[in-house]
A = this chain, B = another copy of it.
Amino acid sequence: MKGTLVGGQEGVIMMDIALIAVIVSLVGLAIAALLYKKVISVEIDNPTVAGITQQIQDGAMAFLKAEYRYLSIFVAVVAVLLYFITETDGHLTALAFLGGAVASVLAGLSGMKAATAANGRTAMAAQNEGQAGALAVSYNGGAVMGLSVGGLGLLGISLVAYFLGAGDEGSNITHAAGFGMGASSIALFARVGGGIYTKAADVGADLVGKVEAGIPEDDPRNPGVIADNVGDNVGDVAGMGADIFESFVGSIIAAMVIADSSANMNVDYVILPIFLGLVGYLASLVGVFSMEFLKNGEPGAALRNTTFIGAGLFWVVGWFGIGFMDLDTGTDPMIAVIIGSIVGILIGLVTEYYTGIEDVFGLKPKAIPHIGQMSKTGPATNAIAGLSVGMMSTFIPIILICFGIFGANHFMMDGHTSSSAGGFMPEFGLYGIAMAAMGMLATVGVTMTVDAYGPVADNAGGIAEMSGLGKEVREITDGLDSIGNTTAAIGKGFAIGSAALTALALFAAYSAAAGLGLSQLALSDPKVVIGLLIGGALPFVVAAMTMTSVGKAANEMVNEIRRQFGVMREALRADTPEGVDLEVVSTWPKVIEHKGTSYPDSAKCIEISTDAALKEMVGPGVVAIIAPVIVGFALGAPALGGLLAGSLVTGVLMALFMANAGGAWDNAKKAIEQGHIEGAQKGDAAHEAAVIGDTIGDPFKDTSGPSLNILIKLMSIVAVVIAPSLTITGWL
């Protein structure tokens, strides 16, 4: 595409950088493999811990196998469709799509394997080696995920760019969007299916085990408990990983497509995102490696410092490296990158302010005490308070995202107008927005490590509790868990902020790929408005579908657990001598304690819940892929642009609203339990109301909210893929 601007030299540089990126990412993946070996080398010398760890890992693999069985059909069908739909060289888009799907699957598999292996081993390390050892195991467990996501993302996109000859004359980088679409499809299914899974297991296990049978929460004899634990990994590790993976490659693809489509941007702009991804990944490797030296210090500082080392290195090396490139805008893209990072951090802190119990930078949170107080007058006022906190919490993050857009656009446009080309060229500003997204994503290797560390430390605590490892162990794991919270909040901020900016950059890439001029995306065109309204409604539809699905899936889970308990009861009855009162014998605790019965079939339970989750994820997935196709072909490219903008706006808002409302309800309940709310305590009516709010929030924060982040990115990337086939007016 860049033919007119490309000299031989730039072409060589492009190839060089892509090849270096391939090599570096392979090195990074090798390091991830070594870290995994290091994690599993920790011996589990406690049979209970070993058993639970094995069960969770088996369960997680059972879920992934079933998911991939399902998805392989989907991926094959879509690949064939892409082959035929894509106007020219359909095989390239189809292959890139397969590559993206496979890379996302591999990242999910390795991360999940490592995280589930590290859970129990962190608990063991806490017992045998103390805090530093436990920190290292959990951090390394997370690092496998972090380095896999970063490495496979960089590897895949570099290979795609290399084989497409990105930036060369006659090349068409739009095919690379296929890679992003593959990654996004897997991500949506992982998030939606995983989200339904984890909440179905959670609700099902609690309802039958805790409420009906009266056995304690997290009792391993409840066949749903392993599913619940698997669900935590599925949601927090695999779901988050797939989400970030897709944002990472999406922001790179968006920047490449914008640059490639512009007559005013030279080939170095096409290279730049891969270069930044490369620098960010190298910086992440250093950051992750630095934990070896930091682990003996204060764990919170250690965690933060690995991130800071990664980010700092990225900024410095990026700044000097970019200076050597031939860019009209000089080092301005790095300003956009830095703005993006800062916005991500601030969104995380604001999220923490609205959903957390602790002070944020000396500011006393008001939301949690408010919900706590409103719990005293019952579940209705608790629910209203949670909903309004969630709605209110959208505003500052949106303003921060706007600051990010404004700043990135401003500095890039500013740098550009001082260049030789001159004139109003919005593509520079839009490219800057993709750079801001990269600011939150380039060091994904280390940020995702910290994200995945959190659930590992959390689950380690759960396993320690279930296995009775003693108070000292629990204290260490609790400590490691709690220091992960603020970092996790910042991780969430990065996820939401980068999703918004990536979707926006992809939107810009779409309008470039579809060849839409400024006047063809006018808000005063009724077709654009129609797209805007339909796009705006889709997040509401998907949120409604996923919430309903959680209910249905939980119901199937309940039935399966009841069935197993029934079998166990029959076994007990068969073993009971004549004359013994069956009514007394067959109380649930007795049934479950009866050693002669078949053990609970957790795998069956997991399979049932998995199948239900996967069945339920089809609807939202189809909506996400079909909606842009229908609107694009029927109403034309401008209407599809409107759809993307509309879904971006309500998608980001609904994602913030639902995630934060859910988080706030959760912590309001915890605040009452921990005595932070005057006049309320565990077990009283206010607490009961807060528990109800927490349950409303479960599908909000763990299913629907996170799904929306992916929905908007997936629809955007589908639009980029089909852009060349669309017309301005559409069929109607």
* Interface residues, chain A, with chain B CB atoms under 8 Å away: 207, 374, 377-381, 383-385, 387-392, 394-395, 398-399, 401-402, 405-406, 408-409, 426, 429-430, 433, 504, 507-508, 511, 516-530, 532-534, 536-537, 540-541, 543-545, 547-548, 550-551, 641-642, 645-646, 649-650, 652-653, 657, 692-693, 695-696, 699, 732
Contact = CB atoms under 8 A, between A and B. Distances in A.
Contacts of A394: 537, 540-541
Given A551-B381, A692-B379, A541 B391 contact: yes
Nearest to A429: B526
Contacts of A653: 536-537, 540, 650
Closest 6 CB pairs of A and B: A380-B695, A391-B544, A392-B544, A518-B519, A536-B649, A518-B522
A262 to B, nearest CB: 12
Contacts of A642: 523
Contacts of A392: 540-541, 544-545, 548
A459 to B, nearest CB: 25
Given A518-B520, A523-B523, 20 more contacts: A374-B551, A381-B551, A384-B547, A385-B548, A385-B551, A388-B543, A394-B537, A395-B541, A399-B534, A402-B530, A405-B530, A516-B524, A519-B519, A519-B522, A521-B522, A522-B522, A523-B642, A524-B641, A536-B650, A540-B657
Contacts of A541: 391-392, 394-395
Contacts of A409: 526-527
B518 A696 contact: no
A692 B387 CA distance: 14
A6 to B, nearest CB: 25
Nearest to A401: B533
B650 A649 contact: yes
Nearest to A642: B523
Contact of A523 (B391, B526, B528, B551): B528
A696 B540 contact: no
B395 A540 contact: yes
A520 B523 CA distance: 9
A539 to B, nearest CB: 9
Contact of A649 (B429, B646, B692): B646
Chain copies in the assembled complex: 2
A533 B430 contact: no
Contacts of A537: 394-395, 398-399, 653
A696 B530 contact: no
A658 to B, nearest CB: 10
Contacts of A649: 532-533, 536, 646, 649-650
Contacts of A550: 384
A643 to B, nearest CB: 11
Contact of A526 (B398, B426, B517): B426
26 contacts: A380-B695, A384-B699, A387-B696, A388-B543, A388-B545, A391-B541, A394-B537, A394-B540, A395-B537, A398-B533, A402-B530, A402-B534, A405-B530, A406-B526, A426-B522, A426-B526, A429-B526, A504-B529, A508-B524, A518-B520, A518-B524, A521-B524, A523-B645, A533-B649, A649-B650, A650-B653
A243 to B, nearest CB: 20
A333 to B, nearest CB: 15
A508 B430 CA distance: 26
A99 to B, nearest CB: 29
Main secondary structure of the interface of A (DSSP, over half): helix
A526 B405 contact: yes
A406 B518 contact: no
A337 B113 CA distance: 62
A176 to B, nearest CB: 20
B391 A641 contact: no
Contact of A384 (B390, B429, B527, B696): B696
B380 A430 contact: no
A312 to B, nearest CB: 28
A378 to B, nearest CB: 7
A408 B526 CA distance: 10
A216 B645 CA distance: 52
Contact of A732 (B387, B395, B406, B529): B406
A597 B732 CA distance: 73
Nearest to A508: B524
Given A406-B732, A533-B649, A543 B384 contact: no
Contacts of A518: 518-520, 522, 524-525
A716 B573 CA distance: 72
Contacts of A388: 543-545, 547-548
Contacts of A540: 391-392, 394-395, 653, 657
A524 B430 contact: yes
B551 A384 contact: yes
A528 B532 CA distance: 13
Contacts of A652: 533
A527 B508 CA distance: 13
B521 A433 contact: no
Q: Which of A529, A541, A548 has the most CB of B within 10 A?
A: A529
A406 to B, nearest CB: 6
A650 to B, nearest CB: 6
A642 B649 CA distance: 11
A342 B433 CA distance: 43
Contacts of A507: 523-524
Nearest to A432: B526
Nearest to A512: B524
Contact of A645 (B391, B429, B532, B657): B532
Contacts of A524: 426, 430, 507-508, 511, 516, 518, 521, 641
A388 B641 CA distance: 27
A424 to B, nearest CB: 9
Contacts of A551: 374, 381, 384-385
Q: Which of A388, A390, A524, A529 has the most CB of B within 10 A?
A: A524
Contacts of A520: 518
A654 to B, nearest CB: 9
A543 B263 CA distance: 45
